[in-house]
Amino acid sequence: MPDQSTPEINLLREAYAAFNARDIDAALATMTPHVAWPMAFKGGFVHGHQEVRAYWTQQWSEIDPHVEPVSFQPEGAGSMLVHVHQVVRDLAGAVLGDERVGHRFIIQDGLIQAMEVCPLPRDGV
């Protein structure tokens, strides 16, 4: 198991904690100004802090997602695959989805440049 406390992993832990706390400003502070972020809830991507803020604000008005990193798998050259336990609820608290997914991050100069949702390896955690 790789070291689970590198600067990149600490950055990603901060980002997940801020997202789960609905602290958009703290989450955006972990990202480059021109970050590419997936609209997993709608499809496609948003780019930059303003678009991420607008997407999350809309998303959180419709669903209540919680994403907890389970493990981190460095892939080299600033790429990190995070195994995530994701629970999505409706606003009344009913579970809409409970699954493990992959989040692949590109980290540049100590900030998140891009993220994509991806399948986990078959032998994944």
Residues 5-15 pLDDT 10s: 899 999 999 99
Domain at 16, CATH number: 3.10.450.50
Tally of domains within the chain? 1
The residues pairing with 71 across neighbouring beta strands, listed in sequence order, are 83
pLDDT at 3 > cutoff 90: no
The model scores a pTM over 0.85:
yes
Alpha carbon distances (Å) from 111 to 6, 9, 31, 34, 105: 13, 11, 5, 11, 10
Q: For residue range 11-70, list pLDDT tens digits in order.
A: 999 999 999 999 999 999 999 999 999 998 788 999 999 999 999 999 999 999 999 999
Q: Name the pLDDT band for 4 (thresholds 50, 70, 90).
A: low
Integer angstrom CA distances of residue 87 from 69, 79, 123:
12, 24, 21
Within a domain: residue 23?
yes
The answer to the question of residue 124 being in a domain is no
Q: Which domain holds residue 104?
A: 7-118
